[in-house]
Amino acid sequence: GNSVTQMEGPVTLSEEAFLTINCTYTATGYPSLFWYVQYPGEGLQLLLKATKADDKGSNKGFEATYRKETTSFHLEKGSVQVSDSAVYFCALSTGGFKTIFGAGTRLFVKA
Amino acid sequence: NAGVTQTPKFQVLKTGQSMTLQCAQDMNHNSMYWYRQDPGMGLRLIYYSASEGTTDKGEVPNGYNVSRLNKREFSLRLESAAPSQTSVYFCASSPQVTHSGNTIYFGEGSWLTVV
């Protein structure tokens, strides 16, 4: 079946450090891929998405490229801020109503 | 700018008690969902409603019932709460399902503890 695997956290970085959160997937067909972010005490919100191979999603300085050959969708940011501290979820959808979420990766950014 | 609103935000139940989580969205979305979030397990789909008048089971439906009251409202009921249902519950909605998947809009969550 479809699944998403993302790196375990927590990830702790200093402000202005480079961020990578790894995400790989298993899916039949051609899924769309998503990154959602959950700030403390809030629900998840869409950060970025990509709907086909080699697409790059970007938002708020975050980027992720849909790599079909490596079945990956790694999240990157060049310079993190304290306000980026949150839990990040990788997710996939093959259409239909059942989006599959990864377990989440908690990011702490220190000033 | 409410989006998806769910109540209550916090609840403590005794084993065997029943309760209903309420959810409403004001974005005119067709589809609504209930998820639970547990540490290390991400979000798991409990039930969803593709459109008004329909409901379907998700990944973990046992112990829950749902009602799609109208296009705006989708409630989740625990008939006889168990400690295994201690979790954070999220209501969500999406405008329509396409071949490229949904963007899902989430409420702020309901923290439920069953003792």
pLDDT digits (tens, 9 = 90+) for A47-91: 999 999 999 999 999 999 999 999 999 999 999 999 999 999 999
Which DSSP string do the residues of B38-51 spell out, in sequence order?
A: ETTTEEEEEEEESS
Whole-number pLDDT of residue A8:
84
Task: Give the least confident one: A15-19, B26-30, B61-65, B97-101.
Answer: B97-101
Cα distances from A11 to residues A8, A21, A65, B115, in angstroms, run 8, 9, 21, 32
Question: Could you give the count of Cα atoms lying within 13 Å of B81 in the half-sphere of its Cβ?
Answer: 20
Instruction: Please enumerate residues of A whose Cβ is less than 8 A from a Cβ of B.
Output: 4, 31-32, 34, 36, 41-46, 49, 51-52, 89, 92-99, 101-104
Amino acid at A49: K
Residues of A in Cβ contact (< 8 Å) with B45: 98-99
Coil, strand, or helix at residue B86?
Answer: coil
Dihedral of alpha carbons A65, A69, A70, A71, sign: positive
Length of chain B: 115
- Reported as type and span, the H/E element at residue A26 is strand A23-26
Averaged pLDDT of chain B: 93
Which residue does chain B place closest to A4, by CA atoms?
A: B42
Residue B99 has pLDDT above 70, yes or no: no
Average pLDDT, integer, range A16-43: 93
Averaged pLDDT of chain A: 94
Categorize the per-residue pLDDT at B14 as very low, low, confident or very high, splitting at 50, 70 and 90.
very high
Coil, strand, or helix at residue A67?
Answer: strand
Whole-number pLDDT of residue B1:
64
Instruction: Please enumerate residues of B whose Cβ is less than 8 A from a Cβ of A.
Output: 4, 31, 33, 40-45, 48, 50, 56, 58-59, 90, 92, 97-109
Length of chain A: 111
